[in-house]
Amino acid sequence: MRLFTLALLTLPLPALADDAVDRVVSDFAVPHVTAFAETTAALAQAAEVDCTPGNAGLLAAWNAAMDAWLGVQDLRFGPLEQGSRRQAIAYWPDVDGHRPRALSRILTGQDPVLDKPETFPGQPISARGLYAVEAMLFDPQFNDYGAGDPGCVLVQAMTADLAGSAAAVQTAWQDDFVTVMRTAGNKRNARFLDASEARQVVFTALLTSMQFDIDERLGLPLGTFDRPRPKRAEGRLSGRSQRNLELSLVAHAELARALVPDAADAPRTHADFERVIGLAQTLDDPDFSGVDDPAERFKLETLQTALIALRADVHAELGKTLDVSMGLNSLDGD
């Protein structure tokens, strides 16, 4: 990728390939990947100072990094999708329970990685990233360690690995992929043959992330009426299920506005985002345990229905304005 970008830089660059793509790059992608790199670096530093789960500074740093991730997650193209980075940063859902088994194996010495923490990036993705750190800090099965215990060494290795992944994403965006996006349609741009392809990949990423919220963030804990699954909620251990969904929706709205900033071009989309975000903010269910209660469950089901309608509006209005259709995405298994 770097050699390709350098080749592009040797050419006289045309005018920006597309206003929508430029807004996505300047107003959304670069600020968010920068914030994620900065917050994960701060998290790694906090773990070096005091890696115990009772450290308020460490907990605050992890929450800040999680907040920042929810602004990055919509970038389902480019550097975040290379080398399994997304999964290494945010492996969830883990419905088969790979994470606790992987962490137990490391902590009991069955895997000698703690003797050489620098080799930690070679660990399975279930033992890496934000959700693995969450387990070490909030899960009673793992968060009873003290300074100098294997758990402390593991948290330091995890956070250093996470910061490295985030820094790599930031560098790849700023050094390479910004140019790739902005030169869509340049004859030497083998990634995007024309500007519409760059618009389409962003549009597809937005719709894919919205479907993820519908199916996973809401669908997993909702389960069925007869069999709700509150323990499958994202962020249950840290009490962040509602906050994660709220911030995810805010990021979707921000990306949609970057693509189509004029409400007149997408009136239902702009209005529905405000309504759906409002519904999420009025919930009083931090870990979505309310799925067991009929009244609270109704609120989550109402939100899910509204989000489905919003996604349909995004598909119709933004697709028409941008003159693109949805392409293949990672949720298709492609």
Q: Report the pLDDT value the prediction gives residue 305, as an integer from 0 to 100.
A: 98
User: Which residues 6+ apart lie within 8 Å of 45 measured at CB?
Assistant: 61
The residue from 152, 182, 212 where one domain ends is: 182
Cβ-based neighbour number of residue 66 at 10 Å: 23
Question: Would 231 be classed as within a structural domain?
Answer: yes
Q: What is the pLDDT of residues 58-94, one digit of tens each?
A: 999 999 999 999 999 999 999 999 999 999 999 999 9
For the residues 322-333, what does the mean pLDDT come to? 71
User: Which residues 6+ apart lie within 8 Å of 185 measured at CB?
Assistant: 14, 17, 192, 193, 194, 195
Percent of the chain with pLDDT over 90: 92
The total number of structural domains in the chain stands at: 2
Residue 240 and residue 232 in contact, taking contact as beta carbons nearer than 8 Å: no
Percent of the chain with pLDDT over 70: 93
pLDDT-derived band at 327 (thresholds 50, 70, 90) equals: confident
Q: What is the pLDDT of residues 30-63, one digit of tens each?
A: 999 999 999 999 999 999 999 999 999 999 999 9
Q: Report the pLDDT value the prediction gives residue 102, as an integer from 0 to 100.
A: 98
Taking 60 as the threshold, does the pLDDT of residue 163 lie above it? Answer: yes
Is residue 40 located within the same domain as residue 107? yes
Is residue 164 located within the same domain as residue 199? no
The residue from 182, 212, 233 where one domain ends is: 182
Is residue 269 located within the same domain as residue 122? no
Is residue 20 located within the same domain as residue 108? yes
Question: Would 7 be classed as within a structural domain?
Answer: yes
Q: Report the pLDDT value the prediction gives residue 17, as an integer from 0 to 100.
A: 57
Q: Report the pLDDT value the prediction gives residue 3, as an integer from 0 to 100.
A: 45
**CATH number for the domain that contains residue 45:** 1.20.1420.20
Question: Would 187 be classed as within a structural domain?
Answer: no
For the residues 99-110, what does the mean pLDDT come to? 97
Average pLDDT value for the chain: 94
Please name which of 27, 28, 3 lies closest in space to residue 209, comparing C-alpha atoms.
Answer: 28
Is residue 135 located within the same domain as residue 17? yes
Taking 60 as the threshold, does the pLDDT of residue 11 lie above it? Answer: no
Question: Would 106 be classed as within a structural domain?
Answer: yes
Residue 202 and residue 255 in contact, taking contact as beta carbons nearer than 8 Å: yes
206 phi, psi to nearest 5 deg? -65, -50
Is residue 223 located within the same domain as residue 315? yes
Taking 60 as the threshold, does the pLDDT of residue 177 lie above it? Answer: yes
Residue type, 297: R
Q: Report the pLDDT value the prediction gives residue 185, as an integer from 0 to 100.
A: 92
Please name which of 11, 21, 65, 27 lies closest in space to residue 43, comparing C-alpha atoms.
Answer: 65
Is residue 279 located within the same domain as residue 323? yes
The residue from 132, 155, 182 where one domain ends is: 182
Please name which of 217, 232, 241 lies closest in space to residue 96, comparing C-alpha atoms.
Answer: 232
Is residue 210 located within the same domain as residue 274? yes
Q: What is the pLDDT of residues 254-312, one digit of tens each?
A: 999 999 999 999 999 999 999 999 999 999 999 999 999 999 999 999 999 999 999 99
Question: Would 108 be classed as within a structural domain?
Answer: yes
Is residue 178 located within the same domain as residue 201? no
Is residue 166 located within the same domain as residue 241? no
Residue 99 and residue 14 in contact, taking contact as beta carbons nearer than 8 Å: no
Taking 50 as the threshold, does the pLDDT of residue 182 lie above it? Answer: yes
Question: Would 293 be classed as within a structural domain?
Answer: yes
Taking 80 as the threshold, does the pLDDT of residue 330 lie above it? Answer: no
Give the residue numbers spanning the domain of 272. Answer: 195-332
Question: Would 64 be classed as within a structural domain?
Answer: yes
Q: How far apart are the first and last CA of the chain?
A: 21
Q: What is the pLDDT of residues 210-222, one digit of tens each?
A: 999 999 999 999 9
Distances in Å between the Cα of 25 and the Cα atoms of 21, 245, 310 are: 6, 23, 24
Q: Report the pLDDT value the prediction gives residue 123, as an integer from 0 to 100.
A: 97
Cα angle for residues 314, 299, 60 (degrees, 5° grid): 80
Q: Report the pLDDT value the prediction gives residue 96, as an integer from 0 to 100.
A: 96
User: Global pTM?
Assistant: 0.93
Is residue 32 located within the same domain as residue 145? yes
Question: Would 222 be classed as within a structural domain?
Answer: yes
Is residue 170 located within the same domain as residue 118? yes
Q: Report the pLDDT value the prediction gives residue 105, as an integer from 0 to 100.
A: 97
3-class SS letters over the chain = CHHHHHHHHCCCCCCCCCHHHHHHHHHHHHHHHHHHHHHHHHHHHHHHHCCCCCCHHHHHHHHHHHHHHHHHCCCCCHHHHHHHHHHHHCCCCCCCCHHHHHHHHHHCCCCHHHHCHHHHHHCCHHHCHHHHHHHHHHCCCCCCCCCCCHHHHHHHHHHHHHHHHHHHHHHHHHHHHHHHHHCCCCCCCCCCCCHHHHHHHHHHHHHHHHHHHHHHHHHHHHCCCCCCCHHHCCCCCCCCHHHHHHHHHHHHHHHHHHHCCCHHHCHHHHHHHHHHHHHHHCCCCCCCHHHHCHHHHHHHHHHHHHHHHHHHHHHHHHHHHHCCCCCCCHHHCC
